[in-house]
Amino acid sequence: DAGVIQSPRHEVTEMGQEVTLRCKPISGHNSLFWYRQTMMRGLELLIYFNNNVPIDDSGMPEDRFSAKMPNASFSTLKIQPSEPRDSAVYFCASRPTGTGSNEQYFGPGTRLTVT
Partner 1 sequence: AQSVTQPDIHITVSEGASLELRCNYSYGATPYLFWYVQSPGQGLQLLLKYFSGDTLVQGIKGFEAEFKRSQSSFNLRKPSVHWSDAAEYFCAVVWMDSSYKLIFGSGTRLLVRP
Which residues contact partner 1 by CB under 8 A?
A: 4, 31, 33, 42-43, 45, 48, 50, 55-56, 91, 93, 95, 100-109, 111
**Least separation in angstroms between CB 18 and partner 1:** 24
**Least separation in angstroms between CB 100 and partner 1:** 8
**Least separation in angstroms between CB 33 and partner 1:** 8
| Residue 15 or 43 having the CB closest to partner 1 | 43
Please give the C-alpha separations between residue 9 and each of 54, 98, 108, 113, in angstroms, as whole numbers.
24, 30, 8, 11
| Residue 12 or 55 having the CB closest to partner 1 | 55
| Residue 71 or 99 having the CB closest to partner 1 | 99
Q: Do 35 and 45 touch, CB atoms closer than 8 A?
A: yes
Closest to 34 measured CA to CA, from 95, 72, 90:
90
Please tell me the distance from the alpha carbon of residue 9 to that of residue 56, in angstroms, as a whole number.
Answer: 25
**Least separation in angstroms between CB 32 and partner 1:** 11
Give the three-state DSSP class for 3: coil
